[in-house]
Amino acid sequence: MTNNKIKKQIDAAIEKLTKTKKQLKSNIGQSVADVCLKVQNECQMGMTNTSVNNAVSYGRRNHHPSLPGEYPAVDYGDLRRSITFEVEETDDTAKGRVGSVITNPPYPTYLEYGTSRMSPRPWLRPSVEKSEEFTRKTFEKAMRDSKQ
């Protein structure tokens, strides 16, 4: 085999690997976004389908708290509407974050982990757990599709 022929084969292999890498990067970025959206939806749906306790009065309004350990009950929907996600892609990575944009007061954190006066009403961790199978399948598909 001539050097010229070997060089052409090496160049073709490098070109194919480069194309596969670009496709994989694109697929992974999209997969991260898909998983974040799934977690966001799980959070919002979990709050929609919550059983509640007896009403507790706070001034002129009643609050129907969820049972400890369940998703938070919705009064006005501020937390549910505040749940968002973002994806950050660099040359080598794609990172996704899902959470609430409410920071002051940090009641999303109080609900997730509880306080000394309230049991946790987690909304993010259960949503991530419910999305694990979807996450696995999404990334497996991204890998398979990149090889084609």
Residue type, 125: R
Percent of the residues in the chain that have a pLDDT greater than 70, as a whole number: 94
Among candidates 49, 30, 32, 24, which has minimal Cα distance to 146? 24
Gyration radius of the chain over CA positions = 23
Contacts by 102-106, CB closer than 8 A, 24 or more apart:
102/78
> Mean per-residue pLDDT for 45-51?
85
C-beta neighbour count of 148 within 10 angstroms = 6
Greater confidence, 64 or 112? 112
Q: How far apart are CA 133 and CA 139, in angstroms?
A: 10
Is a pLDDT exceeding 70 seen at residue 55? no
> Mean per-residue pLDDT for 81-105?
93
Which two three-digit tokens encode residue 82?
Answer: 């505040």
> For position 5, what pLDDT does the model report?
84
14-18, 24-28, 123-127, 132-136: least confidently modelled range? 14-18
Is a pLDDT exceeding 90 seen at residue 69? yes
Is a pLDDT exceeding 80 seen at residue 74? yes
Domain around 21: 3-147
Which two three-digit tokens encode residue 63?
Answer: 């609050």
Q: How far apart are CA 146 and CA 21, in angstroms?
A: 8
| pLDDT tier at 48, thresholds 50, 70, 90 | confident
Backbone angles phi, psi at 101, to 5 degrees: -85, 0
Residue type, 116: S
In sequence order, which ranges of 49-106 are alpha helices (DSSP H)? 78-82
> For position 93, what pLDDT does the model report?
87
CB 24 within 8 A of CB 143: yes
24-28, 54-58, 69-73, 83-87: least confidently modelled range? 54-58
Is a pLDDT exceeding 70 seen at residue 78? yes
Is a pLDDT exceeding 80 seen at residue 108? yes
Q: How many domains does the chain have?
A: 1
Write down the pTM of the prediction.
0.83
